[in-house]
Amino acid sequence: MSVFIDKHTKLVIQGITGRDGSFHAKQMMEYGTQVVAGVTPGKGGQLFEGTVPIFNTVADAVQATGANTSVIYVPPPFAADAIMEAAAAGVSLVVCITEGVPVLDMTKVYPFVKERGVRLIGPNCPGLITPGESKVGIIPGRICTPGPVGVVSRSGTLTYEVVYQLTRAGIGQTTCVGIGGDPINGTNFIDCLAAFEKDPATKAIAMMGEIGGTDEQEAAEFIRTQMKKPVVGFIAGQTAPPGRRMGHAGAIISGSSGTAQEKLEAFAAAGMGIAKRPIDFVELIKARL
């Protein structure tokens, strides 16, 4: 079992002929993901790598191939439109890898996607992987292995780090999800935690947060009140200088400052394991399996 994607996931890749899109399309195909279509306006009718049909629009791709998931590699000015196009075309999951999407674009895209009942992961995220079944995004497949741990993180490369350490220690994963580091993203920690709580194969969860905002504190409250499965947490940015990376504005509205200290206190109050270093996940998770 897994969350959000599995071997039945049929993927359409938006921006399949770009530098990043084509590179990662091949990586996903090699991993075994069912890549059923690509979209690049103006290249409809061509084939990618001689096998994957390219369409001018996502709607055409969905109609012809039955794709149920989309992944987006288009440049930032076009990413918001690409997300809306995918949601309107009827896929149930949209994963936006693109970094640098203006946040005001996301304030318009988010309700558009929600109202259609579509799950959006990202933007500015590494995507997700269900080891041995399907990979959607850019998480390196070789660092993952099937097993009982659900992984959720706001960061990309920090996710890889922790997954890599777990895999090296022989601890596999059900699904690893990178939710992205932007102020407005489609899927938050709680969405993922709730999915892992429901997934019978997931026995423990590793969660990597960072300074800024209150998502981690809200997640800790959810863990405390709604979850039976053990969760181990980490906060990046404990040594970051105050006022430099944190969303000043977000701190005002929540009436709190989003410091690492505050988040770690919330983790402790929720009875979570706390990893001081990425490597600490290994022992803390092991003890909870």
Partner 1 sequence: MNLHEYQAKEILRAHGVNIPPGRVATTPAEAEAIAQEYGVPVMVKAQVHAGGRGKAGGVKFCKTPAEAKEKATAILGMKIKELTVERVLVTVAADIGSEAYVGIIVDRATKKPVFMVSAAGGIDIEEVAASTPEKILYVPVDPRYGLPTYDAMRMGFFLYADVKLARGAAKIMQQLYAAFMASGCSLAEINPLVVTPAGELVAVDGKMVIDDNELDRRPEIAALRDERSEEPSEVDARNANLTFIKLDGNVGCVVNGAGLAMATMDLVKYYGGEPANFLDIGGSSNPEKVVNALRIITADPNVKAILFNIFGGITRTDDVANGIVTATKANPLKVPIVIRLTGTNEEIAMQILKDNGFSASSDMDTAVQQAVALAKGGK
Is position 8 annotated as part of the catalytic site? no
Between 191 and 210, name the residue whose CB sits nearer to partner 1: 210
Between 105 and 199, name the residue whose CB sits nearer to partner 1: 105
CB of 76 to partner 1, least distance (A): 6
Contact in structure between 174 and 152 (CB atoms under 8 Å): no
Helices (H), the chain: 19-31, 58-65, 76-89, 103-115, 157-168, 189-198, 215-226, 248-254, 260-269, 280-286
Between 13 and 62, name the residue whose CB sits nearer to partner 1: 13
Q: 65-80 as b/e, with b when 16 or more CB fall inside 10 Å? A: bebbbbbbbbeeebbb
Contact in structure between 149 and 206 (CB atoms under 8 Å): yes
Could you say which of 248, 268, 271, 287 is catalytic? 248
CB of 233 to partner 1, least distance (A): 13
- Interface with partner 1 (CB under 8 A): 19-20, 23-24, 27, 76-77, 97, 99-104, 106-108, 110-111, 126, 138-140, 143, 153-161, 164, 181, 183-184, 208, 210-211, 213-215, 234, 236-241, 244-245, 247-255, 276-279
Between 65 and 159, name the residue whose CB sits nearer to partner 1: 159
CB of 275 to partner 1, least distance (A): 10
CB of 111 to partner 1, least distance (A): 7
Q: Strand 93-96's sheet: what is its strand order? A: 47-48, 52-55, 34-39, 10-14, 69-72, 93-96, 119-121
Residues with active-site annotation? 248
